[in-house]
Amino acid sequence: MLQIAFSSYSWLLTASHQKDGMLFPVALSFLVAILGISLWHVWTIRKPKKDIAPLPPGPRGLPIVGYLPYLGTDNLHLVFTDLAAAYGPIYKLWLGNKLCVVISSAPLAKEVVRDNDITFSERDPPVCAKIITFGLNDIVFDSYSSPDWRMKRKVLVREMLSHSSIKACYGLRREQVLKGVQNVAQSAGKPIDF
């Protein structure tokens, strides 16, 4: 790293003695960029991380896209199974610039989802969810610890999932099921797009 900086500095000195006035600002910008990258490298990569818990093992990805190019498009579950065989039942995976922790065993999933649900409930919502829900103003993406979420959950359970509201929608549900069965019966022998 120092060798690159010294060679850039010597190039800067030779460029400053030339008659061309544009070469000096370009060389100075280049030197400042190299120095900035070096300082960033020392500050982030080599900084001791004593207060942060160690991450689980996982495959390395590319700088901007992470491990996305290696996942492929078909049989994604088989790729995750192979990664679990290589790195264990819990591993990290960079998908773009998002760090994802993948859990692939039933006992670990039970511990995360049931036993430590409050700890693992907060997650980063995708950008499309922010747009569709008008700033995460719904029960799915709202913060689990907020009082608004608790009120929305009470309304959902009391109004939408109560026995009387389910009974009131019986006719509509029956009609939709009958339409679906009729569409399947009419398309016998042909591919159906649900």
**Per the domain annotation, does 133 fall within a domain?**
yes
Question: Is residue 66 domain-shared with residue 90, that is, in the same domain?
Answer: yes
Q: Per-residue pLDDT averaged across 134-163, rounded?
A: 84
**Per the domain annotation, does 194 fall within a domain?**
no
Report the number of distinct structural domains present in the chain.
Answer: 3
Among residues 104, 120, 136, the one where a domain terminates is 120
* % of residues, the chain, pLDDT over 70: 84
* % of residues, the chain, pLDDT over 90: 24
Pick the more confident residue, 157 or 28.
157
**Per the domain annotation, does 15 fall within a domain?**
yes
Among residues 120, 153, 172, the one where a domain terminates is 120
Question: Is residue 108 domain-shared with residue 57, that is, in the same domain?
Answer: yes
**Per the domain annotation, does 193 fall within a domain?**
no
pLDDT at 177: 95
CB 16 within 8 A of CB 24: yes
CB 93 within 8 A of CB 66: yes
CB atoms within 10 A of CB 5: 13
Question: Is residue 172 domain-shared with residue 157, that is, in the same domain?
Answer: yes
- pLDDT of residue 175 exceeding 90: yes
**Per the domain annotation, does 103 fall within a domain?**
yes
Mind spelling out the 3-state secondary structure of 37-48? HHHHHHHHHCCC
Q: Per-residue pLDDT averaged across 88-103, rounded?
A: 91
Structural domain boundaries enclosing 113:
51-120
Q: How confident is the model at residue 194 (pLDDT cuts 50, 70, 90)?
A: low
**Per the domain annotation, does 191 fall within a domain?**
no
Q: What is the full DSSP assignment across the chain?
A: -HHHHHHHHHHHHHHHTSS-TTHHHHHHHHHHHHHHHHHHIIIIISS--SSSPPPPP----BTTTBTHHHH-SS-HHHHHHHHHHHH-SEEEEEETTEEEEEE-SHHHHHIIIIITTTTT---PPPHHHHHHTTTT-STTTS-TTSHHHHHHHHHIIIIISSHHHHHHTHHHHHHHHHHHHHHHHHTTTS----
Question: Is residue 57 domain-shared with residue 99, that is, in the same domain?
Answer: yes
Name the pTM for this structure: 0.52
Question: Is residue 102 domain-shared with residue 133, that is, in the same domain?
Answer: no
**Per the domain annotation, does 192 fall within a domain?**
no
Question: Is residue 107 domain-shared with residue 151, that is, in the same domain?
Answer: no
pLDDT at 48: 60
Q: What are 7-48's pLDDT values in tens digits?
A: 555 655 565 555 556 666 777 788 888 888 888 777 776 656
pLDDT at 19: 53
Among residues 79, 102, 120, the one where a domain terminates is 120
CA–CA gap between residue 22 and residue 122 (Å, rounded): 52
**Per the domain annotation, does 39 fall within a domain?**
yes
